[in-house]
Amino acid sequence: MQILTKQELHNLAMNIVGEKLVEMGYEFQAINSQLKRHPQFVLFKKGEPTIFVLVKATSNLQNPNEYDVVWMETFVSHAKQQNAKVWFAGVGIANAESVENPVFKDQPYYVAFEDFVKITS
């Protein structure tokens, strides 16, 4: 069995988040799937300000919304210059047989993603 790479886990998390954003009626102005390049999504919805969405895949199913506060403050500063809001999407992804094992390609997995953390509103 092939273990998913960090990039593949990131892409999986982005797909999960992207589907939720489409359900919410947002259009994508830009998408960046490269690992550690932010934001992953730049959103547009008529009558609303631009929204930057940062996506992080993690094996932490209990609290996937943890993020580096200092780094986030730096990004929020950048977003303010662009008159944009910042949302964070922490997506917990873990092996369905044992959370201690890595996630394997074409094998079942758990997902922990409820909603966005609205860093700025």
Domains in the chain (CATH in brackets) are 6-118 (3.40.1350.10)
Q: Residue 21: its pLDDT value, please?
A: 98
**Sequence-distant (≥ 6) Cβ neighbours of residue 21 within 8 angstroms:** 28, 41, 43, 53
pTM: 0.93
Dihedral sign for Cα 16, 19, 23, 29, please.
Answer: positive
Q: Which two tokens stand for residue 26?
A: 């947002």
pLDDT digit of tens for each residue in the chain (121 aa)? 999 999 999 999 999 999 999 999 999 999 999 998 999 999 999 999 999 999 999 999 999 999 999 999 999 999 999 999 999 999 999 999 999 999 999 999 999 999 999 999 7
The helix (H) or strand (E) run that includes residue 27 is strand 27-31
